[in-house]
Amino acid sequence: MAVLLIAEVTDGALNMDATAKAVSAVAGLGEVTVLCAGGEVEGAAKEAATIQGVTKVLTAEDPLYGHRLAEPTAALIVSLAEGYSHIAAPATTDAKNVMPRVAALLDVMVLSDVIGIDDAETFRRPIYAGNAIQTVKSGDPVKVMTIRTSGFDAAPTGGEAAIDSVPVGTDPALSEWVEDKVAASDRPELTSAGIVVSGGRGIGSKEDFAIIEALADKLGAAVGASRAAVDSGYAPNDWQVGQTGKVVAPELYVAVGISGAIQHLAGMKDSKVIVAINKDEEAPIFQVADYGLVGDLFTMVPELTEKL
C-alpha cells in the first residue's frame, strides 16, 4: 500500500503544520509520497522532504497550479494516481475544493474530514455538525480523503526524502484566477494556534472587535469569530470557527459574547481548555466551558487584558 499526500502549498509556501499533521495521520497506511503543486514549489518541496515518514516528494511546478484552481489540480492528481491505495490531503478549503473532483474522476467516493483511521479501509468522520461520529468502510479500489488535522500531532522533522519532478499537465482552460484578498497578519494562524480568542454577536460592532484583538495580542493568540460576528461584518470570513468554518483544537479557547450554538461548538469543542465570557448565565456555551464568567464583556475583557 502507498499513500499520495497532497501538500498544502499557497503562493510557494508550504503549510507545514497541516501537511505534517496529515503525514502522521496516514503514516500507518504505507509509504507516503508528498505532492507539492504550485507556481513555485522548490522551497515547499525541500521543507516537505524533511517531514519524517515521507519517502518521496513530487513537484509539479507551473503557473497553471499557482492559484490552486480545481480543474488543473484535480487532473494532475488523477494523472499520478496509479499505484496508490490512498490519496489524501489535509482538509483545507483548497483540498475540499479539489479532492471530491479527484474522487469522481476516479469513480470512487470521497471521505471528507477524516478524524480517525482504524485500518486501510475503515475511517471515522464527524457528521451532523459533530453530534455523531460515523465509522465507515470503503469498498473503493482507491481511498480519496481529506483529513481533519486538528486531532493529529504533527510528524517531526529531520527526514531527508528524495525530490523528483513530475510532468505538468495541459490547461483545461475552464477557469482563471482573478484575485486573492488575503489580510496579512502577524498573529498565529487560526488552525494551528495554541490559543484562540473568539468573539461573537455580543461584541456588537466592528470597532469593538478591537477588544477581542487586544486580548488575543496579549495572549499571543489567534482571533476567531462566530458566524453571526462574520455575517454582521465585525470580522472577516476566514476567522469563522464552526461546522462550516475552521476547526480548531488549541490549548486554550476563549469564547466571548458567543452563545454556543451547535454549529459553533462543532469547530472548537475539542479545545483542551475552554473559557466562556457571556452575560447570559443560561448560554449553552457554559455547558462545554471549563471556566465560565458571567458578566458584561465590555468590562470583563479589558480588565482581563490588563491583568494578564
Partner 1 sequence: MKVLVPVKRVIDYNVKVRVKADGSGVDLANVKMSMNPFDEIAVEEAIRLKEKGAAEEVVVVSIGVKQSQETLRTALAMGADRAILITAAEDPAQDIEPLAVAKLLKAVVDEEQPGLVLCGKQAIDNDMNATGQMLAALLGWSQATFASKVEIEGDAATVTREVDGGLQTVKVKLPAIVSADLRLNEPRYASLPNIMKAKKKPLEEKTAADLGVDVTPRLTTVSVAEPESRKAGMMLGSVDDLVEKLKDLGVV
Binding residues for FAD: 201, 226-227, 240-244, 257-264, 278
CA dist., res. 92 & res. 256, Å (int): 26
DSSP type of residue 151: G
3-state class (DSSP) for residue 278:
strand
Binding mask 29-58 for partner 1 (x = CB under 8 A): ------------------------------
Q: Is 10 in the site for partner 1 (CB under 8 A)?
A: yes
What residues make contact with ligand FAD under the rule CB under 6 A?
A: 200-202, 226-229, 240-245, 257-259, 261, 263-264, 267, 278-280, 283, 296-298
Query: From the CB of 11, what's the least distance to partner 1, in Å?
Result: 9
Binds 42, which of ligand FAD, partner 1, none (CB < 5 to 8 A, cut-off by type)? Answer: none
CA dist., res. 248 & res. 31, Å (int): 28
Task: Locate 98 and state its grid cell.
Answer: 479539489
CA dist., res. 57 & res. 21, Å (int): 16
Q: Is 104 in the site for partner 1 (CB under 8 A)?
A: yes
The length of the chain, given as a count of residues:
308
Q: In what order do the strands lie in the sheet with 110-114?
A: 110-114, 143-147, 86-90, 2-6, 31-38, 54-61, 162-165
Query: From the CB of 65, what's the least distance to partner 1, in Å?
Result: 14
CA dist., res. 190 & res. 232, Å (int): 20
Binds 23, which of ligand FAD, partner 1, none (CB < 5 to 8 A, cut-off by type)? Answer: none
Q: Is 300 in the site for partner 1 (CB under 8 A)?
A: yes
Q: Is 294 in the site for partner 1 (CB under 8 A)?
A: yes
Query: From the CB of 286, what's the least distance to ligand FAD, in Å?
Result: 10
Segment 175 to 204, residues that bind partner 1, using CB under 8 A: 175-183, 191, 194-195
Q: Indicate the helix (H) or strand (E) that contains 10.
A: strand 9-10
Q: Is 21 in the site for partner 1 (CB under 8 A)?
A: no
Query: From the CB of 19, what's the least distance to partner 1, in Å?
Result: 13
CA dist., res. 104 & res. 156, Å (int): 33
Q: Is 304 in the site for partner 1 (CB under 8 A)?
A: yes
